[in-house]
């Protein structure tokens, strides 16, 4: 049933409108009504209504849905949750909450153009180190909008990326030389913190990631075989809760050989742990006992390494590096010791050999620079 009505505009022009019920939307289950205006004649209004009915019966939407970026994100994130680890999901939600949604959230996704995305990445680049990563995450939502045919192209693909500011890691300074590493441990030994000393020894002499070291249990260490099995990592899940997951690479495990001195340090720490924790009523002989735990025998907070790094470096005037810098240090010194690229890749658990190659290139360049300096020194004497 359709209702036709003639009406008059302010300029006196007479036009026709028609209101009609089309049926039930098979997707939403709701009634669909349509109103058509600006027809010059009743016949034209009827013709436009007939077209709407044909489109509706063919399954074509009679109204254009104008979703906001926030609405598309809400749909995308629900599906994304089932494709990644909990820690990655939490990190992704945090990035959107802090950076992407405040900028794009209320915008209509069909109206977002390249220039909007360019302004966003320019803004983020002023204060954020990983601004390219943030734009990549925003791009995932636009890609999803393309897949569900809301938009034709992803506008983030054509932005011009600003030049990144140099950081310690990007400058290539986030590692210790052999002499600097020896000095660091000489200074750390004066602090009389056997647990912390053992933790940094494991980081520097195995190349483990911090989360992997903090997740270690004594059952992962074979003193007979002189190996440590890396099969889990400590990370943060929902509500910042510390949780155990499989390693970053997604592989089930890797087995790392360990030198005699590092094993001796770990043996001494195990005895000290047993004695000190027994005094406060904690039995550390269980199979799943953490190698590095707090005084409640719970997970150590991942920030503990940064705290001790700053404390030791400030006190003894050492070059500051990040905790991850010990992994870079281990990798660099392995190359200097003559290890092959494949051996280093396997030991550190690099899924992408390019990661290993990048560090190798850095070490090779350093050697070239040293060679040039030795030649110049020889010629000047």
Q: Rounding to the nearest 10 degrees, give the CA dihedral for residues 182, 183, 186, 190.
A: -150
**Same domain as 205, residue 100:** no
Same domain? For 16 and 53 the reply is yes
Q: Return the axis-axis angle of helices 178-189 and 194-206, rounded to nearest 10°.
A: 170
Is 188 contained in some domain? yes
In which element (H, E) is residue 229 found?
strand 227-230
Same-domain pairing of 252 and 341: yes
Query: Does some domain include residue 16?
Result: yes
pTM over the 0.75 mark:
no
User: What is the DSSP-derived secondary structure letter of residue 158?
Assistant: G
51 and 136 together in one domain: no
Residue 134 shares a structural domain with residue 113: yes
Domain housing 298? 178-368
Q: Provide the CATH number for the domain around residue 104.
A: 1.10.150.130
Same domain, 217 and 354: yes
Q: Give the pLDDT of residue 342.
A: 85
Does residue 208 sit in the same domain as residue 279?
Answer: yes
Euclidean distance between CA atoms 246 and 243, whole angstroms: 10
Please report whether residue 62 resides in a domain. no
Would you say residue 275 lies in a domain? Answer: yes
pLDDT of residue 376: 58
- My answer on whether 118 and 252 are in the same domain is no
Our CA angle for 165, 171, 175, nearest 5°, is 135
What is the percent of the chain with per-residue pLDDT over 70, rounded to a whole number? 87
pLDDT for 169: 44
DSSP for residue 298 = S
Under 8 Å between Cβ of 197 and 189: yes
Domain match, 309 and 355 both: yes
Separation of alpha carbons 204 and 261, rounded Å: 13
Residue at 171 is within a domain: no
Give the mean pLDDT per block of 10 residues along the chain (381 residues).
Answer: 88 91 72 89 90 76 72 92 89 94 94 95 91 95 92 94 62 82 96 96 94 95 95 84 75 85 97 95 92 94 93 94 92 85 84 69 59 58 62
| Same domain flag for 35 and 73 | no
Whether residue 173 is contained in a domain is answered as no
CATH number at residue 217: 1.10.443.10
Sign of CA dihedral 307, 269, 229, 84: negative
pLDDT at res. 300: 94
Quick one: tokens of 236? 């943060």
Are 98 and 231 in a shared domain? Answer: no
Residues 134 and 219 in one domain: no
Whether residue 260 lies inside any domain: the answer is: yes
Predicted confidence at residue 65, as pLDDT, reads: 63
Pairing of strands 227-230, 254-257: antiparallel
Q: What is the pLDDT of residue 367?
A: 56
CATH of the domain at 34: 3.30.160
Residue 64, domain member (yes or no): no
Domains in the chain, number: 3
């Amino acid at each position: 049933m359709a209702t036709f009505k003639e009406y008059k505009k302010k300029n006196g022009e007479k036009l026709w409108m028609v209101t009609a019920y089309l049926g039930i939307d098979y997707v939403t289950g709701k009634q669909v009504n349509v109103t058509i205006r600006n027809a010059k004649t009743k016949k034209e209004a009827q013709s436009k209504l007939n077209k709407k009915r044909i489109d509706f019966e063919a399954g074509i939407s009679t109204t254009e849905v104008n979703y906001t970026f926030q609405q598309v994100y809400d749909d995308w994130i629900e599906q994304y949750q089932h494709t990644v680890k909990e820690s990655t999901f939490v990190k992704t939600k945090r990035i959107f909450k802090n950076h992407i949604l405040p900028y794009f959230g209320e915008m209509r996704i069909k109206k977002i153009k390249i220039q909007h995305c360019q302004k966003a990445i320019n803004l983020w680049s002023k204060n954020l180190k990983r601004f390219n990563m943030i734009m990549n995450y925003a791009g995932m939502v636009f890609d999803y909008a393309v897949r569900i045919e809301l938009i034709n192209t992803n506008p983030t693909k054509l932005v011009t990326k600003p030049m990144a500011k140099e950081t310690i890691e990007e400058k290539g300074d986030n590692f210790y030389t052999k002499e600097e590493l020896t000095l660091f441990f000489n200074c750390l030994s004066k602090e009389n913190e056997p647990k912390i000393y053992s933790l940094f020894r494991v980081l520097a002499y195995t190349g483990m990631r911090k989360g992997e070291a903090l997740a270690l249990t004594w059952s992962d260490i074979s003193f007979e075989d002189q190996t440590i099995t890396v099969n889990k990592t400590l990370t943060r899940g929902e509500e910042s809760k510390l949780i155990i997951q499989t390693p970053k690479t997604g592989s089930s495990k890797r087995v790392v050989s360990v030198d005699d001195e590092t094993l001796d340090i770990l043996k001494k720490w195990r005895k000290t742990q047993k004695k000190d924790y027994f005094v406060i009523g904690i039995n550390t002989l269980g199979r799943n006992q953490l190698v590095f735990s707090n005084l409640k025998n719970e997970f150590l907070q991942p920030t503990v390494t940064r705290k001790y790094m700053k404390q030791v470096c400030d006190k003894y005037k050492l070059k500051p590096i990040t905790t991850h810098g010990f992994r870079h240090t281990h990798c660099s010194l392995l190359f200097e010791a003559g290890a092959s690229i494949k051996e280093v890749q396997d030991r550190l658990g690099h899924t992408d050999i390019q990661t290993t190659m990048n560090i190798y290139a850095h070490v090779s360049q350093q050697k070239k620079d040293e060679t040039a300096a030795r030649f110049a020194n020889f010629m000047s004497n």
